[in-house]
Structure 1
Amino acid sequence: SLINLLNITMVNISCRKPTLFWTKAMFVNILLPVISVFTVVLNLLVIISISHFRQLHSPTNILLLSLAVSDFLVGLLLLPMEIYRNTSCWFLGEIMCAFCYYLTCYIPFVSVGNIVFISIDRFVAICYPLHYPTRITATKVKIWVSLCWLWYAFYSVFYIRDHIIHLIARDVSCLGQCSVALDYATGFVDLILTFIFPVTLIVFLYTRVFVVAVMQARSMRSQVTFVSAQHPGKVKAKRSELKAARTLGVLVFIYLSCFCPFYMYSLIENNLTSTSYAYLFFVVAYFNSCINPVIYTFSSLWFRKAVKAIITLQILRPDCQSIEIK
């Protein structure tokens, strides 16, 4: 009918299907789906491993579980939404567009909060090992994790307040479009609270951890020759601390490499979906969720044993939860 024809015409005028150059098309159609699948699979393995095996229910692993859940949601929800938003017009409605914005803020913020808590956990464990059992308990960590998810659930509303106001006023600029635009005040607050402050804290804590671990390693190496000759086997380097010291540099470097480009670009461009550069920085930031399980867990022997038990279907055994993992 004429009305339907006019509606189709209005939709076509309002929304022009995104034109993808070959570089962006490669990211959208090939690289991004691959990253999404790997992010979901790797983090799902972490979630199953820590949740299923009782021996892994430690304070540190509870934090890793929370991080894996947030990263899992990045691969399951955020990356597919990015693929849809960049390959076709947005026909899911303004409410779903606002909800998409909300998840885009909420889930990565929770990941950053989990990384901060993990850095605090490692700082206390390595710098104050005698106080760790009393200061860091499973109950306290569960409270931290719950408050982290709850706080960012409310905090993320701050970023979609303008969009909600437009919805209430029915001020929709263009049918079929869903783009992110932040004012400079919001971008500045976001830069301080979700990047500069967490990164400063993480770098400070991990620097202290690295210095302490290196000092312990040097002290042990200087004593091992004399003491081991008289008491073989009594001098054993704390492998967990030395391993943490070796991986800290890689951890901080990858985290900064993934998030620095996005936040630096947000300082000069308030429309975070307007250019191919912004999209590339989105992909790089999301890629951190795929790297996190590799950094935190794939280097651990317990994780490899847990994955082997999952792949070989040993987790279906009645006594699997009590299997020796560590």
Structure 2
Amino acid sequence: MSDIHSTVSIQDPNSTTTVPANAVGQSPVTHEQQVAMTVAIAFLGLWCAIGNIVTILAITTRRYMRTKTNVFILSLAISDLLSGLIASPLWLYRRTWGFNPWELGQFACKLYWVIDETTSYCTAMHIASFAIWRFILVRWPHRMGTTKIRTITIWVCTIWVISIIFGGFVYSLFYESVEKPQDGGVYSHWPMCSIKFVDDGIAKFKMYYTFSSTMFMLFPMAILFVMSMLIVKELFFNKTFKSELRKIKEKKAVAQLAMIAASFMIGYIPMTSYMMWTIRVSNKDKSLDYWMGVAAYFCLRFSECMNPVAYNVSSNKMRKASKEVLALVWTCCGKRAPVSQTPSRVSHSTPNEAGLYVGSTIITNGTKSYGNGPK
């Protein structure tokens, strides 16, 4: 690999120009811009981690939160957390200091794409499944009682298996860490950890990406749109009598779905559009390609941060559970009040006043006790 301060010759139709190697092979951003991106990604990563960890703890530690609907939310929070904790740092390195050269090895390169694509497909299918579930509850509310939580769990596990196979394993076969030739191809401005360009790698990736993005991204978006329209129809055009309590619950459920769907669109429409553009257009402007990819990824990370906000804004129970979790964490991490060394005394206790002890004085500082003992 050439030194970053060496020069190379690039032939264009009009002239031969000698330029620094880092103009063609290195990240097209300055050190200050790299630091700014690091701060921004670190902030979003911290926000994503805290929000989704609180969501996971709120659902798993509070019995009243273990509902069928929250199985979807729990799984979605796990997906967002994996993406924020693993994919985001690797993406940052890939787009900044690891643009060229990538020094973390092939395993880290493939791990980034496995986590990133798995969680992307998982999120898309979760949103579509959540929309279907919300429509079922609005259209046939009696199904809530007959559907077992085990059925929902199997549903969610199936989503993960499909995502790992088609989004993780298969995608890992298309990516590697190798220096890209600067010949004006679609890959010329990509980082080292990108799609393989040998053995028709780009053409094969285009074919698979067209199939997979249609099946696991565009199709779920279409399902989300159709389910949303059907829900609106049920809420506003169905003349069947409904109690006021049921109407309130349905409106809250739809509000939650709308916020999660909006967050999903904010994150995944820009990223899908960028991927379709960058793998098909040759002779792109390097700076434009770079910053479009960065902007799309920031939209993706922002959407993952907004999901926990949507859960809490649209659900009173989620807010209550989240507050309880935060209070518990604060209690566990905060300083405990010092225990007084002066024993307090209770004379002539009775069972109604001081438990099971009766009779003479009791020292209640936890060290010794005197009296007639338990009765």
Task: Give the TM-score category using the shorter length.
Answer: 0.7 to 0.9
Equivalent residue number for residue 290 of structure 2: 275
Match of 2:230 in 1: 208
Change in Cα spacing, 1:151 to 1:251, as seen in structure 2 (3 Å) is: closer
Q: Does the aligned pair in 1 maintain the 2:263–2:304 contact within 8 Å?
A: no
Deviation at 1:27, TM superposition (A): 5.8
Q: Residue type of the partner of 1:123?
A: F
| TM-score, normalization by structure 2 | 0.68
In 2: Cα distance, 1:58 partner to 1:249 partner? 20
Question: What CA distance in whole angstroms lies between the structure 2 residues aligned with 1:144 and 1:68?
Answer: 16
Give the Cα–Cα distance (whole angstroms) in 1 for the partners of residues 39 and 210 of structure 2: 33
Give the alignment partner of residue 131 of structure 2, picking from 95, 119, 122: 119
Residue matched to 2:165: 154
Write the letter of the residue equivalent to 2:83: V
Q: Measure, in 2, the Cα distance between the counterparts of 1:154 and 1:235.
A: 45
- Greater RCO structure (CA 8 Å; 6+ sep): 1
The match for 2:154 is 143
In the alignment, the residues of structure 1 paired with residue 251 and residue 239 of structure 2 have an alpha-carbon distance, to the nearest angstrom, of 7
Partner Cα separation in structure 2 for residue 23 and residue 189 of structure 1: 39
Quote the residue 2:322 is aligned against: 307
Q: Tell me if the contact between 2:79 and 2:119 (Cα under 8 Å) persists in the aligned partners.
A: yes
Distance 1:246 1:155, change over 3 A: closer
- Residue 296 (structure 1) aligns with: 311
Give the Å deviation of 1:270: 0.9
Residue 225 of structure 1 is matched in structure 2 by none
Name structure 1 gaps, 5 residues minimum: 1-6, 221-233, 318-326
> What's the RMSD between the two structures over aligned residues?
3.3
Contact residue 187 and residue 270 of structure 1 kept, 8 A: no
Deviation at 1:179, TM superposition (A): 2.5
**Residue equivalent to 2:249:** 240
Q: Which structure's residues are more often helix, by fraction?
A: 1
Decide which structure has greater strand share: 2
Return the letter of the residue paired with 1:289: E
- Asked whether the 8 Å contact 2:82–2:115 carries over to 1, the reply is no
Rounded to whole Å, the distance in 1 between the matches of 2:39 and 2:53 is 22
- When residues 200 and 36 of structure 1 are mapped into structure 2, their CA distance, relative to the original with a 3 A threshold, is same
Give the secondary-structure state (helix, strand or coil) at the position aligned to 1:179. strand
Q: Secondary structure at the match of 1:146?
A: helix
> How many residues get paired?
290
| Structure 2 unaligned spans of 5+ | 7-20, 182-190, 197-201, 333-375
> 1:114-164, CA deviations, whole angstroms, 9 ceiling, x for partnerless residues?
212211211111111122322x3200011111111112111122222233x
Distance verdict in 2 for CA 1:178–1:268, change over 3 Å: same
Q: 1:80 aligns with which of 58, 81, 89?
A: 89
Q: Judge conservation of contact 1:49–1:303 (CA < 8 Å) in 2.
A: yes
**Which entry has the higher C-alpha Rg, 1 or 2?**
2
Post-superposition shift, 1:21? Answer: 5.2
CA gap of 1:65–1:268, structure 2 versus 1, over 3 A, is same
Percentage of identical aligned residues: 20
Q: Which amino acid aligns with 1:142?
A: T
Q: Which 10-residue stretch deviates more, 254-263 or 275-284? A: 254-263
Question: What is the TM-score normalised by the length of structure 1?
Answer: 0.77
Of 212, 216, 224, the residue aligned with 1:194 is: 216
